[in-house]
Amino acid sequence: MNLQIEYYNDGTDFHEIDPLSINPEYLTDFSIYEKLQYKGNQYRFRCLLLDPSSIPKERLMELLRSWKNVYIHEHQAKNYHQYLKDNLSYILNHDEIDISKKTDTLISLSTEVVKESFELNFAKAGCGKKALSNIHQLISQAIEFITDINSLNGIANLIGHDYDTHTHSIKVGWLMATFINANKDLFTPKKDHGFKNLLIQATVAGLLHDIGKIKIPSNILNKNGKLDNLEYIIIQSHTAYSVCLLFDTGISRYASQAILYHHENEDGSGYPTGLASDQIPMIAKICHIADVFDALTSKRSYKESKSPYEALKIMAGNNPYLDTLKKFEKEVSDNVKIPATALVRDDYDIKLRRLREKEMMEEEAKKRVEARTKLRDQGMVHCFDKELLKRFIQTINRSESFELSALL
């Protein structure tokens, strides 16, 4: 569609964009308009630049800085969206753009890419590689921004929101990238790959660490409440599903380890294989910390969100009921039937007796599920590498949006 130089419109055909987000070298990809009051509920939208290529770049920069609000026609919204994808690095590294606007752009594009990955048919040849390629392209442009401590101000704005698998994955990848960049001394990347590639691979792992949940039945994944023991076991299979789905995509061994083992606990009580201590790859330990931190600070249907301080206090705390917690976890992993606390004796109706016993077992199982959830919040330090957890707290404490000194 050939756009007009001028429109009279109530505004529904136009979208506001930040002029600072426009790279002058790509301004020919779409037309920008100013919005002027006309009469009633009508506005006059006038094209600001008829031929951007005829204006020197320096002058274009001055104009973009001088305009408070500019607009694009809805027929070019797709062009602008593609522009954002191609120029994400330019936007994120622009010193004059507010960090909240950078974060909004990054989250919007990242959510789209992650959602697309979760909706792909991995049984179809090439789909997995496409998902990995799209995420890799996005992360490559964003890596300098998300590895900067100051970018955690953007993460802080997302703390406490309702849990969403896609946003959760983005935050986990983001936290991993920032942590690794701030703790370079822990890593000795191979010379042929380099530290930047290590950062990218770790972030890719964070964004895809829960991809296996697409294989989990939706009634379990979206359950409005606590999971029972069988559902909990089914959920645990998502780590193996994730690696299986990504097996033929060319994903690095480094990222695969993070994805497969990010629920392993330091004391060997995690899943899927019960690894402990030095058996667990460092990248998986980091993913685990970021994953639990975001899960605790997110709101769920069955729990309120915790503040970063509260979450990390739980993560760094010793659990006085650890033996009981492990007993309950073992019951789940063994998938044993919870014994009824008493037998119902009714010689007149065997069916009624068995029904009541079943109800009692279900009631007992429900109580243990609730108890297990509460027991976890008593302390989780047994789940993590203490030195890495301490470093994680120190790292995010360096951001002005977090105050965690009392934990150090």
SS3 at position 179: helix
What pLDDT is attached to residue 388?
97
Tens-digit pLDDT profile for residues 133-157: 999 999 999 999 999 999 998 888 8
pLDDT at site 45: 96
- For residue 372, the model assigns a pLDDT of 87
Res 345: pLDDT: 59
Least confident of 64-73, 114-123, 393-402: 114-123
What average pLDDT does this structure show over 113-128?
83
Average pLDDT of every residue of the chain: 89
In order of their start, the domains of the chain are: 1-76 (no CATH), 87-318+379-407 (1.10.3210.10), 322-376 (no CATH)
Of 218-222, 313-317, 389-393, give the lowest mean pLDDT range: 218-222
pLDDT tens-digit profile of 358-387? 777 778 888 888 888 889 889 999 999 999
- Checking if the pLDDT of 60 tops 80, the result is yes
In the block, tokens 């989250």 appear at 107
List, for residues 311-349, the tens digit of each pLDDT value: 999 999 999 999 999 888 888 888 777 666 555 555 557
What letters, b where the CB count within 10 A reaches 16 and e where it falls short, cover 250-267? Answer: ebbebbbbbbbbbbbbbe
pLDDT at 343: 55
Residues 41-50: pLDDT tens digits?
Answer: 899 999 999 8
Q: Check whether 100 has a pLDDT greater than 80.
A: yes
Q: Which residues contact 145 (CB under 8 A, 6 or more apart)?
A: 89, 92, 93, 102, 106, 151
Phi-psi region of 180 (alpha: psi -120 to 50; beta: other; left: phi over 0): alpha
Phi, psi of 9 (to 5 degrees): -150, 155
Q: What is the percentage of the chain residues whose pLDDT exceeds 90?
A: 62
CB atoms within 10 A of CB 227: 17
Ranges 43-47, 112-116, 321-325, 403-407: which has the least confidence: 403-407
Per-residue pLDDT at 275? 96
Structure confidence by residue, pLDDT tens digits, 172-216: 999 999 999 999 999 987 655 689 999 999 999 999 999 999 999
pLDDT tens-place string over residues 237-288: 999 999 999 988 889 999 999 999 999 999 999 999 999 999 999 999 999 9
What's the pLDDT at 165?
86
- Going by C-alpha positions, the residue among 239, 198, 177, 203 that lies closest to residue 392 is 177
pTM to 2 decimal places: 0.89
pLDDT over 90 (residue 300): no
Which helix (H) or strand (E) is 46 found in, with range? strand 42-47
**pLDDT over threshold 80, residue 350:** no
Res 106: pLDDT: 94
Average pLDDT over residues 9-16: 94
